[in-house]
Amino acid sequence: MAARGSQCCLTMATRSYSCKNNADKNVSFLGLGNMGGPMSANIAKKGYKVRGYDPVKETLDAAAKRGVTSTSSIAEAVKGADVVISCLPSSKIVLETYLGEDGVVKNAAKGTLFIDSSTIDPNVSRKIFCVAQESGKHFADAPVSGGVMGAQNATLAFIVGGRKEDFDRSLPILKCMGVKQFYCGEIGSGLIAKLTNNMLLGITCWATCECMNMGIKMGLNPRVLLDVLNNSTGRCWCTEVYCPVPGLIPTAPSSRNYDNGFKNEHMVKDLELASNMALGIRSPVILGAMTTQLYRVIESRGFGEKDFSFVYKLLNEEIKNK
């Protein structure tokens, strides 16, 4: 496995960054959804010239209100860009976006740095890296952790794989969007670390939903239960930041009807990618495989667009009609 034995180092942002003195002033941002929207806005806020592209007009218009110049195609978006950042839904879309006829690699200038923050198959990143390199362009996989709140508050963690010099070059821009930047090693290793994290997240979120539902149905006050968990050994990111029970953490997607969060369909995608990775090296992932199937059931019941913590709502049997 490519990333075995590779080193992972962490760079902490200690001060606020702007594009002053940075050669890479022109940024193209592809995919302006729940994550890409606020991420691109945070770069624009720091004085970079950001041109954005998204096929959904409303999404493009929303980004324009936050300082991102709208474009009508990938080719137009990457014109004149020093750096191209993408945050897209799937491996297939990322592959088409970069290697398609009208894609990024064909249209960007030599020397351009591509930073893909989508969560996708590490093999897709390796493929794009090779094609980009052959035409004198640079590619890094840089998936993110921290959710929509992290994207909005510029507190994301970037988990990067690729050439170390490209990681160093990307830092000023990554620091506009987040507070932690990990260099994990060669191309694809950022994604391996990210998929490992998300399998763990899928398992802990499902477990949190199950156990909180049980405690509440046994008559506990939800707020008291959350307080107990957060001061006990069952504590995790879901109990501290992303509580699946509505109304306990105002910023969590559960408190806004499970909308505008990390979509259940994206969690299914990440679990499938992680399961495939595990299968490839015959690493047992018993809970991971089971959790993949469970989230798939939620998706097949028509709740793919809801945040993945929606599991709680279903277990709690509060759904009457969607």
Of 31 and 67, nearer to ligand NAD (C-beta) is: 31
Q: Identify the burial level of 250 via C-beta atoms within 10 angstroms of its C-beta, where 0-12 means exposed, 13-18 middle and 19 or more buried.
A: exposed
Minimum CB distance to ligand NAD, residue 233 (Å): 26
Q: Which stretch binds ligand NAD (CB under 6 A): 29-37, 213-221, 272-280, 312-320?
A: 29-37
Among 26, 28, 34, 40, binds ligand NAD (CB under 6 A): 34
Q: Look-up: residue for tokens 């690699």? A: 105
Q: Does 295 bind ligand NAD (CB under 6 A)?
A: no
35 or 205: whose CB is closer to ligand NAD? Answer: 35
Residue number, 5 or 250, with CB nearest to ligand NAD: 250
| Closer Cβ to ligand NAD, 209 or 225, answer by number | 209
Three-state DSSP at 5 gives coil
Q: Which of 127, 137, 194, 269 is catalytic?
A: 194
Q: Degrees (nearest 5) of the Cα angle 320, 265, 59?
A: 100
Contact flags string 90-109 toward ligand NAD, x per CB under 6 A: ---x---x------------
Instruction: Return the amino acid letter for 110.
Output: K
Under rule CB under 6 A, residue 144 binds ligand NAD: yes
Rounded (5°) CA angle 47-48-49: 120
Of 144 and 243, CB closest to ligand NAD: 144
Q: Is 194 marked active-site?
A: yes
Q: By CB under 6 A, is residue 148 in contact with ligand NAD?
A: yes
Counting contacts by CB under 6 A, is residue 191 touching ligand NAD?
no
* Among residues 40, 59, 197, 264, the one that binds ligand NAD under rule CB under 6 A: 59
- Establish if 215 lies at the interface with ligand NAD (CB under 6 A): no
User: What CA–CA distance (Å, rounded) separates 259 from 176?
Assistant: 25
β-strands 49-53, 26-30 pairing: parallel
User: For residues 24 and 76, which CB has a smaller minimum distance to ligand NAD in the complex?
Assistant: 76
Q: Where does this chain touch ligand NAD (CB under 6 A) — which range of 65-73, 125-133, 228-236, 258-266?
A: 258-266
| Least separation in angstroms between CB 28 and ligand NAD | 10
Residue 146's contacts (CB-CB under 8 Å, 6 or more residues apart) are 155, 156, 157, 178
Please state, in angstroms and rounded to a whole number, the distance separating the CA atoms of residues 128 and 114: 10
The span from the CA of 20 to the CA of 294, in Å, is 48
Going by their DSSP bridges, the two strands 69-70 and 49-53 should be labelled as parallel
User: What letter represents residue 57's amino acid?
Assistant: K
Tell me if 84 contacts ligand NAD by CB under 6 A: no
Judged by CB under 6 A, the residue of 9, 23, 56, 297 near ligand NAD is 56
| DSSP for 148-172, written as a single string | HHHHHHT-EEEEEES-HHHHHHHHH
Cα 166 from chain centroid (whole Å): 20
Q: How far is CA 42 from CA 29, 45, 50, 69, in A?
A: 12, 5, 10, 13
Q: Which residues bind ligand NAD (CB under 6 A)?
A: 30-36, 53-56, 59, 87-89, 93, 97, 118-119, 144, 147-148, 261-263, 266
Tell me the catalytic residues. Answer: 194
